[in-house]
């Protein structure tokens, strides 16, 4: 199931393939908050090593209660998981044998999980001339043959949000046609004032919202995500079929701590506001790139110089960016970079200028 090169963040693999020292690589390929984990969590972890000596609560009651309080919904609507990834595989189990519409380009794990459960995949291609934004044509693609639609907002890798009006129209159409709707909001915490589908779940039982805490709170190695749905029965079924203890005690603790760290949330938004503008402006000024305006903490672009292996050329300068060649609907001309701190972002811009000056 796990594939070495499917995602960004695989620094070891790229170091082994290129011969560049792993420790010297700056990773722009995984979209993780460069502020690192919240200081409140760092302190809590340092004080709770003894948690490793006990089994976590198999029902994760405190964690679910904290997440429920955060969203103002019943705890029975929530299932936490070992990253949002575990929940994608849980949902694939619910959807086994069904026909699912996926938007491309999109996050690869949906297809892998669904195909593993014998789902039939239909594809809706996002068009470059529409800036990879879904538009009302998507409503027409939602016909009687479709059992489920997966959406990701903001979308990985293109970084575009789905407009609230369109989201509402999609939700209504799905309800009319009894289509299950999965909305992946893994990057929603990065959007100031971001409108979450979680706030509209009452009365929409066939909607499942995915959230990840690994990106905004910089804990991809701890792993924590959750799903919210007002279909308490479906949530309970998934809870019951789970192997016990898939969330380690420190990840569960993280979920109880990080949502209270208002200073970290404020600092993160401040960093993103400054560095999103800085990196976007710098990339946009490079005539060799076509850059899409980001909504979240990563930037998607196309290299207009044919045949240039930007990932390989930047790796020689110690910078790893995400090639989007393995996304359905994209090719080797497309890349995605995480927005990092000012020094790293400047290094990326300098490195790109150097590549284009020589290329």
Q: Which residues contribute to the site for ligand PLP (CB under 6 A)? A: 7, 83-85, 107, 152, 156, 184, 186, 212, 214, 220, 225
- 184 versus 231: smaller Cβ distance to ligand PLP: 184
Least distance in angstroms from the C-beta of 256 to ligand PLP: 17
Give the nearer residue to ligand PLP in terms of CB position, either 184 or 344.
Answer: 184
Q: Considering the complex, state which of residue 186 and residue 198 has its C-beta at the smaller distance from ligand PLP.
A: 186
For 146-183, b where at least 16 C-beta lie within 10 A, e where not — what string?
bbbbbbbbbbbbbbbbbeeebbeebbebbeeeebbbbb
**Closest distance between ligand PLP and the C-beta of residue 285, in Å?**
27
Nearer to ligand PLP, 34 or 83 (CB): 83
Angle at 307 between CA 303 and CA 312, to 5 degrees: 80
The least distance separating ligand PLP from the CB of residue 83, rounded to whole angstroms, comes to 2
Q: Which residue is nearest to ligand PLP (CB)?
A: 83
Minimum Å gap between C-beta 35 and ligand PLP is 17
CB of 7 or CB of 98, closer to ligand PLP? 7
Asked if 300 and 28 touch (Cβ cutoff 8 Å), the reply is no
Provide the H-helix boundaries in the chain: 11-18, 39-47, 61-71, 83-94, 108-115, 137-141, 164-176, 232-241, 249-257, 262-284, 310-315, 342-358
Question: Of 108, 85, 18, whose CA–CA distance to 336 is shortest?
Answer: 108
* Least spacing, CB of residue 82 vs ligand PLP, in Å: 7
**Structure tokens given for 297:** 């903490």
Query: How many residues does this entry show for the chain?
Result: 359
């Amino acid at each position: 199931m796990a594939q070495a090169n499917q995602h960004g963040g695989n620094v070891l693999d790229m170091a082994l393939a290129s011969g560049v020292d792993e420790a010297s690589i700056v990773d722009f390929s995984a979209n993780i908050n460069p502020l690192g984990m919240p200081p409140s969590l760092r302190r809590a972890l340092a004080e709770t090593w003894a948690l490793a000596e006990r089994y976590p609560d198999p029902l994760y009651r405190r964690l679910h209660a904290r997440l429920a309080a955060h969203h103002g919904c019943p705890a029975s609507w929530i299932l936490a998981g070992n990253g949002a990834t575990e929940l994608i595989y849980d949902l694939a189990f619910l959807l086994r044998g069904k026909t699912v519409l996926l938007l491309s380009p999109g996050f690869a794990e949906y297809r892998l999980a669904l195909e593993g459960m014998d789902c039939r995949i239909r594809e809706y291609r996002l068009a470059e001339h529409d800036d990879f934004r879904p538009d009302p044509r998507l409503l027409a693609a939602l016909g009687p043959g479709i059992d489920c639609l997966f959406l990701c907002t903001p979308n990985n890798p293109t970084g575009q949000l789905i407009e609230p009006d369109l989201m509402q129209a999609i939700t209504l159409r799905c309800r009319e046609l009894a289509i299950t709707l999965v909305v992946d909001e893994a990057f929603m915490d990065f959007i100031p004032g971001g409108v979450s589908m979680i706030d509209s779940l009452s009365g929409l039982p066939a909607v499942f919202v995915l959230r990840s805490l690994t990106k905004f709170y910089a804990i991809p190695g701890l792993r924590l995500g959750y799903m919210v749905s007002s279909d308490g029965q479906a949530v309970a079924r998934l809870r019951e079929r789970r192997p016990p203890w898939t969330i380690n005690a420190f990840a569960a603790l993280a979920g109880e701590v990080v949502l209270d760290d208002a200073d970290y949330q404020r600092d993160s938004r401040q960093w993103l506001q400054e560095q999103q503008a800085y990196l976007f402006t710098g990339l946009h000024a490079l005539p060799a790139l076509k850059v899409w305006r980001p909504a979240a903490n990563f930037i998607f672009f196309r290299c207009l110089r044919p045949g240039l292996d930007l990932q390989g050329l930047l790796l020689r300068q110690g910078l790893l960016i995400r090639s989007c060649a393995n996304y359905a609907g994209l090719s080797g001309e497309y890349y995605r970079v995480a927005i990092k701190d000012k020094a790293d972002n400047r290094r990326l811009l300098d490195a790109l200028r150097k590549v284009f000056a020589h290329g």
